[in-house]
Amino acid sequence: MSGNLAIDSHAPSYFSVHDIHSYYDESYIVQGVSFNVHEGEILALLGRNGAGKTSTLRSIARLDSPVVQRGEIWLDHKALHKMTSYQAATSGVSLVPEDRRIISGLTVEENLQLAQIAEPVGWGLDRIYNLFPRLGERRKQDGTTLSGGEQQMLSIARALARDIKLLLLDEPYEGLAPVIVDEIEKTLQVIKDQGMTTIIVEQNAVRALELADRSVILDTGSVVFDGSAKEVLDNPDLRAEYLAI
């Protein structure tokens, strides 16, 4: 079903994970995951609940949990697996979590400015407001009082306010009305058109696949498919077995 999943850790891919194994205490969650992402590509990382998708994103971002006990993670020839979460962030990795984590008591603009305190700085506010006009209209509003869709926009915008090379999106469509999903999807397409490399984890698999170039499917912490997004969209048996759609 899948192609050759063995990956040379020294391959010229823009981003790669090679045989990573991650644990929450004694729970073995990510079990030898390997895949590549090319520069400017969107990869849909899919699977059923509990397949290890979010844990893989957190492993890439070098968060404290899960703990990566083995494997290599490379971004633009930099060894992320040897870095702390702060070092990975300053090297260009940005995770937009499912819970968005908008800072209470700060306005939209203050949330964005806070992201730019430390170097390297990414998109300027004018560019961000051009992409997200609604945030510009609400720049003086407390970020936590925004609607769910607006908070998701702010969370993505805050990531872009840093000089990032890899955008990790965890369930960006969760809890949003279809019309808002359409708006977020158009924004992600604009970001892609500007060359941003992105990995998206999303339960709305069809929407993610329609946006993505390629897809990796996980099942119980391991890769069971690595190929084009179109292959998954065109293969109902694959979708039924691993995505329940």
**Residue 138 domain flag:** yes
Q: How many angstroms separate the CA atoms of 220 and 125, rounded? A: 41
**Residue 111 domain flag:** yes
**Residue 116 domain flag:** yes
Q: How many angstroms separate the CA atoms of 160 and 167, rounded? A: 8
**Residue 191 domain flag:** yes
**Residue 166 domain flag:** yes
**Residue 167 domain flag:** yes
**Residue 105 domain flag:** yes
pTM of the entire predicted model: 0.92
**Residue 3 domain flag:** no
Q: Could you list the mean pLDDT of each consecutive 10-residue stretch along the chain, which spans 245 residues?
A: 43 86 97 97 96 98 96 96 95 94 96 89 94 96 96 96 96 93 93 95 95 97 98 96 91
- Give the CA diameter of the chain: 51
- Indicate which CATH number applies to the domain containing 130: 3.40.50.300
With tokens 């390629």, the residue in question is 214
pLDDT score at 70: 96
Share above pLDDT 70 across residues of the chain, in percent, rounded to a whole number? 95
pLDDT score at 192: 92
Select from 193, 205, 102 the least CA-distant residue to 155.
102
pLDDT score at 12: 52
pLDDT score at 2: 44
- Structurally, the chain folds into a number of domains equal to 1
Range of the domain at 192: 40-51+91-242
